[in-house]
Structure 1
Amino acid sequence: MTDQPSPREPLEHGPLALLVAGPTASGKSALALGLAARLGGVVINTDSMQVYAGLAVLTAQPSAAEQAEAPHRLYGERDPAEAASVAWWRERALAEMAAAHAAGRLPILCGGTGMYFRALAEGLVEIPSIPEAAREEARGLLAAEGPAALHARLSLADPETAARLRPTDSQRLARAFEVWRGTGRGLSTWLAEGGTGPARLPDGTPWRLAALRLDPPREALRQAIGLRWEAMLRAGAVEEVRALLARGLDPALPAMRAHGVPELAAMLAGRWDRAEAGRRACLAIGQYTKRQATWFRHQTLAAPSETHTIHARVTHLEQFSERELGEIFAFVCSRVDVAHRGA
């Protein structure tokens, strides 16, 4: 990767990548699919759970029919036994974006994982490899003492990083602790040094980012979550969890904490009945969507002039009035380069 944009394609005329972001069950996939089908786009997964194989139902991955309507990338690619890092996703996403650009297609990055979008827009800090012993210590302490105790340990060792993390955020706490143990420096000090920088093509040309941000009413999301949960059960969610549990994987792995997995695992173990598992799962998903919505409202995925907010839950493009649909396409098409406009 070079440090400067390619001279044949100035910064202000770099290729466009469209971000479709918002909370779970807001209709991101439907919007991205509709735009990809009409604009000649490729939908690139930007959700940390939809990367895992074997969880197509529980993580609401696009169906085979939907994937036949437009190309989809990075869905169901990672084995649940292997944690997918942000760095892994970014590398794969940049490769898929470059491939879409080379084919004359519009990359449409769709998902609800804020740290993935941030890694694309701002870059990643390059931290040295962490010794396996440090990883095992962090996971062991998390399992034995819980996230609150690990947060307390981190507060003593790396108070600046600990202050940025919630005491319940087990995955990030374990990561921060293993970085401190493995490098002798706090994660916050590594972050302060900068890193890869915003997304670029292999020749160094910067991507131009424009964002469609979904921010539907809370009540619409609550209803959608309940309906989706019942649909998932009918589609085989319990069977997915049963197959996942049969592998005997480390419960600390991200895939084992996907929404619905802990609740259905408890149901299969006889601790809860179906109704209680559903109630707890929908409550957890609802709380998560609230945090997602708050995060997206306060983060800049693209410049304010390059961001269009949709205050509705999307089920398909035809739900919009002619005026609303016109606004969405006008926003996107005004930012798509000549090659994509002709797609």
Structure 2
Amino acid sequence: MSRPVRVVSTSILVMLVLAALAGCSFEPDEKVWEISGGIFGTRYHINVVLTEDRETLEDLSQGIAETLESVDASMSTWREDSELSRFNQKSDQSQWTPVSGALFEVLAAAQQVSERSGGAFDITIGPVVNLWGFGPQGRPEKVPDDQVLAGRLANTGFRFLELDAEQQAIRAEKPQYLDLSGIAKGYGVDAVARYLESQGVDRYLVEIGGEVRVNGRKPDGSAWRLAVEQPDAEGRQVNRVVAMDRNAMATSGDYRNYYESNGQRYSHTIDPLSGRPVDHRLASVTVIDESSMLADAWATAFTVLGFEEGYKLALQENLAVYFIVREGDGFETRHTPAFATWLIE
């Protein structure tokens, strides 16, 4: 089912969830148009550089909505009829189950990041995420006790999941509940980018719930300016600004989605190894990569690892990563050499 969309013309791009976009002076025959709507429980904002053509814009808005609806119908754990949910509902997952090309692509990428991060990213952790109240069932009446948590954790692990690229099929040694919330939104951004390029649109900014991918430049020749947000739950401030004419950027942090119980703060990011919400000094991590899907997954993995381990791994993988770390009452920042390319001083 298509989602309602809104198409507007804009000559000054306002700050998106993660974007601080400067005002521009455009040529008369080109404008930046915004197409927006709702998906994945959040909002999307797509900016495209086009000459004024209402029919083309309406076609693009419909195509974008259909593209994102297809991703949601395949990968959502909030929809009982999604392709992913149907696999999760199977009591016997030991036989090979054919899946769509899109779902297989995301599962393969997830397994790759899991291997390279030593299990810091793990899509089988869904039952533990749900236990802590960050899944479709909502917040629990009380935090899980050690025995229940250990029981759930013992049955999870990305190595229980097997993929067959030739058959484009999956199976699990023991039944798993797969949760793609740490990677599917990024894939949605990539899917929209691919759709736009298939329609001949090669200058765009795609943003879904804070995950961003850009290509080309604005009509005045300048790059898209994006903001790394200050990890402040009370408001929205800019920490640093980057300028990009290609690639994707994803940010993960513990300062928005959390709850408190008996004076204890519980982050929505669950460590797949301990089964507990992360509790360290790393407040926010931003990753730039060619793929929004991979940037999304890596941002989650680094949030789990924390700054010290995360920084070492980012250097090892030669990834562009920006860390914001709590220090006393403030924050300190550090980034890998690969990230420096994008920073505006």
Q: TM-score, normalised by structure 2?
A: 0.29
Q: TM-score, normalised by structure 1?
A: 0.29
Give the number of the structure whose residues are more often helix, by fraction: 1
